[in-house]
A and B are shown apart, each in its own frame.
Chain A
Amino acid sequence: MDTCEQLILHLAGGLQPVKRLRSPVVRALLWLGVVGFLGTALVLAFHRVPALMERARDPKFALELVGTLATGILAVVAAFELSLPDRSLKWVLLPAPSLALWLCSSGYSCWRHLIASDPGQIDPAETTLCLAWIVGFGVPLAISLFLVLRRSHPIDPVPAAVMAGLGVASIAAFLLQFFHPYDVTFIDLGLHLAAVAIVIILARAAAYPALD
């Protein structure tokens, strides 16, 4: 008897029923629902909604908010899709349009800020805090997302991990807007992007140990 036949007999011999995974979109929405609930509680607890609503009257800032949140949601959905064996790598493109919207609207806000204000107003401590916020919120969110994603045992964990990293970093950046007292400057934007990159790199590094 050859080894493949022995292996088949072994695998089929002790076969147990398994619970089929739910649709990736449903799983993504469940995770996002829990995070959304906790995020809402945090924002309400610190009474940050009125200040944000005031700033969101500016359509360009509103676009930035939509771009950030949509990137977070779509990247998380893409991560769940990519955690399954038969999904196309093209899923990595899902958050691309919203990411472009986020970057373009933030870039435009930076440009306006650069013209309208003098650079002396920028507080380096405040901008560094933004980086710490995104990484500080992004990492625990990534851990919780990885715990859910690892149920799929992704056969190629890297794309799923990178999308998970982008998703949680974008959600952290969205939450940051509630506590960010002014429009982003180029330094802010650079630090926000650096923080997002750090979270993605950490998620990429954790791909095999955590998801394989």
Chain B
Amino acid sequence: MTVDGAEQWGRLMAAAQSGDGAAYQRLLREVLPYIRAIVRRRHAAPDRVEDIVQDVLLTIHRVRHTYDPARPFAAWLGAIAHRRSIDALRRKVRNDAYETFSPIAYETYADPAANREIAAHEDSAYLGEAIAALPPGQRQAVELLKLKELSLAEAAAESGQSVGALKVSLHRAIRALQRIIGAKETE
């Protein structure tokens, strides 16, 4: 973007404020690469970039009355593009924190045998109940070594049990869970 180009954008926006649709159309087309460049600094996915660019265009339209032709247009436009880019980033971080991607959530099949994976997920609540029913020492061994995936040394330090006692507890817990789950499958 050249200085002349930025001044030209300012003149086009001033004309747009007066209702000149052709000037507005030309301005929005000319600023698209500038907006995309700003958005791409924070976002890589092409679809996301295009969504944010459109959000910037809508914001420009909504706040076009706030542009003062005596001030640089590029700074005004740049601030809007930066802001919308940051807003989109915050939304993404927020969504990522609350959502879990599960590929099987989108899949199901006519053949019941093909849905075993989904059924396994449905069984997780049952498994949770089975773990909760274990004696305290065995339950702690499963939670530390299998659910939290700690090493034997870390689990021993956290639980206060010896490594040997933890191994025994885990072995007994797994045998007990196999019995419980096996009994459910035969029902």
Contacts and interface: CB of A to CB of B under 8 A. Distances in A.
B65 A85 contact: no
Nearest to B75: A86
B48 interface: no
A12 B29 CA distance: 11
Interface residues of A, number: 25
A3 B49 CA distance: 12
Given A11-B57, A152-B66, A86 B50 contact: no
Contact of A20 (B17, B25, B57): B17
B29 A85 contact: no
Contacts of B71: 86
Interface in A57-111: 84-86
Given A12-B22, A86-B79, A19 B32 contact: no
Contacts of B67: 20
Given A11-B57, A15-B20, A155 B79 contact: yes
B134 interface: no
Given A86-B76, A155-B84, A13 B66 contact: no
B21 A13 contact: yes
Q: Which of B59, B65, B72, B75 has the most CB atoms of chain A within a 10 A radius of its CB? A: B65
Contacts of B54: 3-4, 7
Interface in B92-114: none
A115 interface: no
Given A15-B19, A155-B59, A8 B66 contact: no
B63 A152 contact: yes
B131 interface: no
B119 to A, nearest CB: 40
A144 to B, nearest CB: 20
A17 interface: yes
Given A3-B54, A15-B24, A8 B29 contact: yes
Interface string B7-37: 0000000001111111011001100100000
Contacts of A156: 83
A15 B50 contact: no
B175 interface: no
B64 interface: yes
Given A12-B24, A155-B84, A17 B17 contact: yes
A18 interface: yes
A18 B65 contact: yes
A84 B66 contact: yes
Contact of A21 (B28, B61, B65): B65
A121 interface: no
A7 B83 CA distance: 20
A153 interface: yes
A9 interface: yes
A155 B83 contact: yes
B120 to A, nearest CB: 40
A161 to B, nearest CB: 15
B63 A85 contact: yes
Contact of B68 (A2, A13, A20, A155): A20
A85 B64 contact: no
A117 interface: no
Given A8-B25, A15-B19, A20-B68, 10 more contacts: A4-B50, A4-B53, A8-B57, A11-B57, A12-B22, A19-B65, A20-B65, A85-B66, A86-B78, A155-B79
Interface of A: 2-5, 7-9, 11-13, 15-21, 23, 84-86, 152-153, 155-156
Interface of B: 16-22, 24-25, 28-29, 32, 50, 53-54, 57-59, 61-68, 71-72, 75-76, 78-80, 83-84
